Amino acid sequence: MKTKNTKSTKATVSSKQIASALTAFEKVTAPFAGVPALTPTDRKRMVKIRRGAHQVIPTIASLAQKFAIEAPGLQVDDMLSNLQQAQDLEPLLNAVAAFHQTLKDAHLAASGAAWKTAMVTYVMLRSAGEANRRVGDELVPVQQWFRHRVSSSNAASATGTPATPAPAPAAIVPVAAATGKAPPPSPQG
pTM of the predicted structure, to 2 decimals:
0.64
pLDDT at 11: 72
- Tens digits of residue pLDDT in 115-136: 999 999 999 999 999 999 999 9
Once rounded to an integer, what is the mean pLDDT over residues 142-168?
64
Long-range contacts at 121-126 (CB < 8 A, ≥ 24 apart): 122/146, 122/187, 123/172, 123/175, 123/176, 123/184, 123/187, 126/184, 126/185, 126/187
Per-domain residue ranges of the chain: 54-178
pLDDT at 33: 94
| % residues pLDDT > 90 (the chain) | 70
Residue of 167 and 173 predicted with greater confidence = 167
- If you average pLDDT over every residue of the chain, what do you get? 82
Long-range contacts at 82-88 (CB < 8 A, ≥ 24 apart): 83/54, 83/57, 83/58, 86/49, 86/54, 87/54
What gap in Å lies between CA 129 and CA 119, rounded to an integer?
Answer: 15
Checking if the pLDDT of 53 tops 70, the result is yes
- Tens digits of residue pLDDT in 68-123: 999 999 999 999 999 999 999 999 999 999 999 999 999 999 999 999 999 999 99
pLDDT at 12: 83
* Per-residue DSSP letter, 36: P
